[in-house]
Amino acid sequence: MSAISVTHLGKSFGAVRAVDDLSFTVERGTLTAFLGPNGAGKTTTLRMILGLVTPTDGTAVIGGTAYRDLERPVSTVGAVLEATAFHPGLSARTHLEALRIAAGLEAGRVAHVLEQVDLTGAADRRTKGFSLGMRQRLALASAMLGDPEILILDEPANGLDPAGMRWLRGFLQACVHRGRTVLVSTHVLAEIGQIADQAIIIGGGRLAWQGPLTSRTDLEELYLEVTR
């Protein structure tokens, strides 16, 4: 069974059709790039997969189950949606610890994920003073807490400097090497083109292109062609 299946998914916000009859699948153990212009419906689609936004039509399931019905959601899917979504008065460690307790995960996980994203040194600082890159890494750490099989990341490259970008690339590759499934939305085509197995490109809420990527694919060319 596919890791993620989206079937005839649609969402209207009032008169605006944000996502329209969108269908695609993400296979296990692959890294899938989820691409499209701003306002194409990427974030809305990802939020529907994660049960945060209720679809107007169609379904989005994870291993056949809707996110809201997953028995252990954070151990199945890890998600990074909003890089700035932290309580400014709490430290990174407290933020993670509260999530860990709420999810019923073992005590060692917080230190482990902090180490994974190189944030151990800043763990006890309030997130108020965090740079965008640090927030992205803390968000990734939150997503990794449950040691999930699937990662869904919405523009995790935002605000990363070149070193951070390289780190993220290595991080995602390592995830896939260990058999994880990654669905990542991004605008950084050159980066994602190097590591993605397949791409899903949407425009105006509809599927524009889906297919495998090879070393000979010119992703930028393809993207500009299908989203024109």
The residue type of 14 is G
- Determine how many CB atoms are found less than 10 A away from the CB of residue 209: 16
Nearer to other proteins, 84 or 131 (CB): 84
Nearer to other proteins, 82 or 220 (CB): 82
Cβ 29 vs Cβ 180: under 8 Å: yes
CA 163 – CA 142 distance, rounded (Å)? 21
CA 99 – CA 195 distance, rounded (Å)? 30
* Minimum CB–partner distance for residue 95 and other proteins (Å): 8
* Minimum CB–partner distance for residue 108 and other proteins (Å): 17
Nearer to other proteins, 91 or 227 (CB): 91
Angle of helix 109-116 versus helix 92-103 axis, rounded to 10: 130
The string over 69-106, giving b where at least 16 C-beta atoms fall within 10 Å of a residue's C-beta and e elsewhere, is ebeebbbbbbbbbebeebeeeebbbbbbbebbeeeebe
* Minimum CB–partner distance for residue 166 and other proteins (Å): 27
Taking CA 76 as the corner, what is the angle to CA 75 and CA 80, rounded to the nearest 5 degrees?
Answer: 85
CA 54 – CA 47 distance, rounded (Å)? 8
* Minimum CB–partner distance for residue 116 and other proteins (Å): 18
Nearer to other proteins, 71 or 228 (CB): 71
Q: What is the contact surface with other proteins in residues (CB under 8 A)?
A: 43-44, 47, 50-54, 67-70, 73-74, 79, 81-82, 84-91, 94, 97-99, 101-104, 142
Residue whose token pair is 């989203």: 227
Nearer to other proteins, 104 or 212 (CB): 104
* Minimum CB–partner distance for residue 123 and other proteins (Å): 13
Nearer to other proteins, 37 or 51 (CB): 51
- Determine how many CB atoms are found less than 10 A away from the CB of residue 51: 17
* Minimum CB–partner distance for residue 75 and other proteins (Å): 10
